[in-house]
């Protein structure tokens, strides 16, 4: 009988390692880390940086 390998991941909030399967809070390690992630998301703490480009006149264009 072959035993299944357990998938070990790191919590994206605190970095603690945990077993992915059977975890009701996955990909987080706990309810607390899931809540922290939601707060960061709702406060718009997660952002993708916008690159600024110069046009031919040496003036910066923010891409928008």
User: Looking at residue 32, what is its pLDDT?
Assistant: 97
User: pTM above the 0.85 mark?
Assistant: no
4 in any annotated domain: yes
Does a cis peptide bond (omega within 30 degrees of 0) precede residue 27? yes
Number of structural domains (the chain) is 1
CA distance 22 to 29: 11
User: Looking at residue 59, what is its pLDDT?
Assistant: 60
54 in any annotated domain: no
57 in any annotated domain: no
State what percent of residues in the chain have pLDDT above 70.
Answer: 77
For residues 16-34, give the mean pLDDT. Answer: 94
User: Looking at residue 60, what is its pLDDT?
Assistant: 60
Range of the domain at 33: 1-45
Nearest-CA neighbor of 26 among 12, 38, 39? 12
Compare 41 and 61 and report the one with higher pLDDT. 41
CATH number of the CATH domain containing 32: 3.30.50.10
Phi then psi for residue 48, to 5 deg, are -100, 125
User: Looking at residue 55, what is its pLDDT?
Assistant: 64
Phi then psi for residue 61, to 5 deg, are -115, 125
DSSP for 12-33, please give it. TTT--EEESTT-TTTTSSSHHH
């Amino acid at each position: 009988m072959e035993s299944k390998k357990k998938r070990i991941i790191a919590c994206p909030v605190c970095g603690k390692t945990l077993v992915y399967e059977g975890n009701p809070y996955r990909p987080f390690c706990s309810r607390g880390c899931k809540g922290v992630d939601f707060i960061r998301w709702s406060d718009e703490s997660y952002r993708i940086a916008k690159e600024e480009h110069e046009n031919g006149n040496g003036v910066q264009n923010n891409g928008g």
